[in-house]
Amino acid sequence: LAKTTQPISMDSYEGQEVNITCSHNNIATNDYITWYQQFPSQGPRFIIQGYKTKVTNEVASLFIPADRKSSTLSLPRVSLSDTAVYYCLVGDRNFNKFYFGSGTKLNVKP
């Protein structure tokens, strides 16, 4: 089961672009990379998922280099409401089980 490593915390200001990088050196061929967001006292919420190159949706972009040993979640123009913990996890296509890790606590300042 591929484990992930993320920075413990990051600070940013409103309106800035935030990039959170996750290391997953032991990622397997069939593994997908998924990012979740979690607010205090709530369950995690799916943000984005990818396998390779770049994926973009209405809230974020996910950049995955060719070797797939890391990935970067990009949040454009963050606001105070983006203050949360962000988890990177990897799992096979069937996602039979996950490893969430400790996540990155993002603090957005005014």
Q: Which two tokens stand for residue 60?
A: 């974020």
CB-based contact 35:60 (threshold 8 Å): yes
Place of tokens 């957005």: 108
Residue 45 found at the interface with other proteins (CB under 8 A): yes
Q: How many CB atoms within 10 Å of residue 22?
A: 25
Options 32, 73, 84, 108; binder of other proteins; rule CB under 8 A:
32
Residue 37 found at the interface with other proteins (CB under 8 A): no
Residue 95 found at the interface with other proteins (CB under 8 A): yes
Query: Residue 37 forms beta bridges with which residues?
Result: 45, 86
Residue 29 found at the interface with other proteins (CB under 8 A): no
Residue 44 found at the interface with other proteins (CB under 8 A): yes
Residues that bind other proteins (CB under 8 A): 32, 34, 41-46, 49, 85, 87, 91, 93-103
